[in-house]
Amino acid sequence: MDGQQTLKNIILPIYQCLRKVFPGFYYFLQYSRAARQMGNLAKERDELFNKLIAGSTTKKCLQIGVKEDIGAKFGSNWVSVDQFDLRDFIDFHYDIHDLKFPDSEFDVVVCISILEHIPYPEKALKELHRVLKPGGEIWVQLPFHFPYHEAPKDYWRASPDGLRIWMKDFQEIRCGSFLFTRTSLVTSTFFYGAKPEV
């Protein structure tokens, strides 16, 4: 018996005991392990997103949803859409499944923490694809390890691999996961891509 198998034989019964006696701690370890396996691209994510926003000042941009912690549009050139948010800076209360914009209207589309609340995310992404210009950039982000939160409903979580399936009509620039806070119990996934040129 090799050393690695001996170690497994010692640790496995301890792990099973831990699961029975302290299930919360056991699952914390499981989530931490899963988060490590997915990776933490927080620094790269921030750099990519900040560069996208900084480079958008002269472009026509669409912001789907405005997060509470941001509390404003990314700039005056951004059009904001949220079906349920009634704050003054929301420009349109369109359903993301049926946006009332012409084809190829926007250079940049950002959709953060919205798709988990959408019944048909792939249909919504087809709409985002439709309103984005060829060569235009898209940023989609949603929670992965995250508590249930109705606003008004909470339907989905998507791993990076799941996001790639949803985003199949876009060219990937970068896709991954990151710790949303300092704990592995709260992680998010993101996809940064572009609509292919015709």
Q: What's phi and psi for 151, nearest 5 deg?
A: -160, 65
Specify the number of domains making up the chain: 2
Could you list the residue range(s) of the whole structural domain that residue 19 is in?
1-38
Q: Is the pLDDT of residue 96 over 80?
A: yes
Determine what percent of the chain is predicted with pLDDT higher than 90.
63
- Residue 4 binned pLDDT confidence (cut-offs 50, 70, 90): confident
- Give the mean pLDDT of 80-101: 94
One domain, residues 82 and 66: yes
Same domain, 126 and 150: yes
What does each C-alpha distance from 72 to 67, 78, 79, 179 come to in angstroms? 8, 10, 11, 23
Given a cut of 90, is residue 32 above it in pLDDT? no
Cα-based angle 74, 78, 81 (whole degrees, multiple of 5): 100
Question: Is 68 in the same domain as 161?
Answer: yes
Q: Looking at the predicted structure, is the pLDDT value of residue 183 above 70?
A: no
* Mean pLDDT to the nearest integer, 53-60: 97
DSSP letters for the chain: --HHHHHHHHHHHHHHHHHHH-HHHHHHHHHHHHHHHH---HHHHHHHHHHHHHTTTTS-EEEE---TTT-S-S-TTEEEE-SS---TT--B---TTS--S-TT-EEEEEEES-GGG-S-HHHHHHHHHHHEEEEEEEEEEEESS-----SS-------HHHHHHHTTTSEEEEEEEEESSSSTTSEEEEEEEEPPP-
Measured CA to CA, the distance from residue 129 to residue 188 in angstroms comes to: 22
Mean pLDDT of the chain: 89
Same domain, 150 and 162: yes
**CB neighbours of 170 closer than 8 A, spacing ≥ 6?**
129, 138, 191, 193, 194, 195, 196
Residue 51 has pLDDT above 80, yes or no: yes
- At residue 184, does pLDDT exceed 70? no
Indicate whether 15 and 75 sit together in one domain: no
Residue 112 has pLDDT above 90, yes or no: yes
- Residues facing residue 193 across a β-bridge: 138, 172
* More confident call, 26 vs 44: 44
pLDDT in tens, 166-175: 999 999 999 9
pLDDT for 1 beyond 60: no
Question: What pLDDT, on the 0 to 100 scale, is given for residue 181?
Answer: 67
**Domain identity same for 10 and 92:** no
The answer to whether residues 60 and 7 belong to one domain is: no
